[in-house]
Amino acid sequence: MGFFDFFSKNKKNTGSKNIAKDRLKLVLVHDRASMSPEVMEALRKELIQVISKYVDVDSNNIEVELNDNNNQATLVANIPINQIKRSRNV
Amino acid sequence: MGEVIVITSGKGGVGKTTTTANIGTALAKLNHKVVLVDTDIGLRNLDVVLGLENRIVYDIVDVVKGNCRLNQALIKDKRLEGLCLLPAAQTKDKNAISIEEIKKLTNELSEIFDYVIVDCPAGIEQGFKNAIAGADRAIVVATPEVSSVRDADRIIGLLEANEIKETRLIINRLRPQMVKQGDMMDIDDILDILSIKLIGVIPEDEFIIVSTNRGEPAVNNPESMAGKAYLNTARRITGEEDVPFLDLEVVESFMDKILKIFKK
């Protein structure tokens, strides 16, 4: 095997397009996981509205965060409850 | 009432201006009335790609600010009857025009022309926001590279957020030989990542450099592979179905793949 054969063979094995594709996918998970502050604020407000229908929440201390761990974006909401409302159903 | 189509990419240097010039020329060749609008204020280039740089008297900012009538600023193409250019201003900056002004302008142009093709500046700042403001449709240009596809993804998100009803992709500067070797992402790879419909694939073609040197879009040369691909893309833009794909010869199975994607 000649010197150049070695290189061309080596190149074929790596197939740099797969590296490109994998890196892109990873980068896009992070890119797409970021939300604008306006959207986050709107989401926070609506979450409070919905949850307030069922429980009395401490709306000043609600935290809503978007995390990305292990290539999986997750929405984490920390909502302190003041009091659970009395059930209206029998 | 004509259609306003913005050509955008996020990343610079992927061929927005070349694509705008060629698609516009191709649409005019197909007997449509076309105006090309350069919104890259401060970095005007569409005029030189079209070879019309010596005819500019007034520009887009003059029209918007009322320094001249629209007709005075429109430059007729040398070769094609139905093709016009509205050049960008070279000495002003991207804040010289507002979103409202550009909306009014593209609306006015769409009453005169069948297609209003807007060449968008690179980036996602004011210039981009202006360029997409009056658009009915968008065409995103991307090359098969990590940086370009990443930026395209961001742009597609922004176009969706701005409620552009139809966004399509042009993959530019594809090298079939490198795809075959596994050293360039193929059409499937890119469509898979971006989840968007394809409207054209333009092969890498040295003739593009020659045509830019001359100021004559490649579409005018029947020998140019990129020119042929742009002509086919323009036909798809007009809604023509089953436009055949170029046989790039180098890789046949690769072209079969493209056909499959469009038949889906």
> C-alpha angle with apex A39: A38 to A44, nearest 5 degrees?
100
Break chain A into its structural domains and give their ranges.
1-33, 36-90
B223 and A CB contact within 8 Å: no
pLDDT reported for residue A52: 87
> B200-228, pLDDT tens digit by residue?
999 999 999 999 999 999 999 999 999 99
Confidence class of residue B248 from pLDDT cuts 50, 70 and 90? low
**Measured distance CA(B145)–CA(B236) in Å, rounded:** 24
pLDDT reported for residue B261: 66
Domains of chain B (ranges, CATH numbers): 3-263 (3.40.50.300)
Nearest residue of chain B to residue A34 (CA atoms): B154
pLDDT reported for residue B166: 96
A25 and B CB contact within 8 Å: yes
**Tokens encoding B61:** 């900012």
A42 and B CB contact within 8 Å: no
Nearest residue of chain A to residue B147 (CA atoms): A24
B162 and A CB contact within 8 Å: no
DSSP state of A89: -
Q: What is the mean pLDDT of residues B57-64?
A: 96
A16 and B CB contact within 8 Å: yes
pLDDT reported for residue B77: 97
Interchain CB distance below 8 Å, B181 and A24: no
Q: Higher-confidence residue: B258 or B25?
A: B25
> A36-88, pLDDT tens digit by residue?
777 788 888 888 889 888 888 888 888 888 776 666 778 888 888 887 776 66
Interchain CB distance below 8 Å, A28 and B189: no
> B145-204, pLDDT tens digit by residue?
999 999 999 999 999 999 899 999 999 999 999 999 999 999 999 999 999 999 999 999
Interchain CB distance below 8 Å, A18 and B182: yes
Nearest residue of chain A to residue B191 (CA atoms): A21
Chain B environment of A21 (Cβ under 8 Å)? 185, 189, 193
B145 and A CB contact within 8 Å: yes
Of the candidates B235, B236, B218, the one whose C-alpha atom is nearest the C-alpha of residue B227 is B218
Q: Which residues between 46 and 85 in chain B have a beta carbon less than 8 angstroms from any beta carbon of chain A?
A: none
Of the candidates A82, A78, A69, the one whose C-alpha atom is nearest the C-alpha of residue A44 is A78
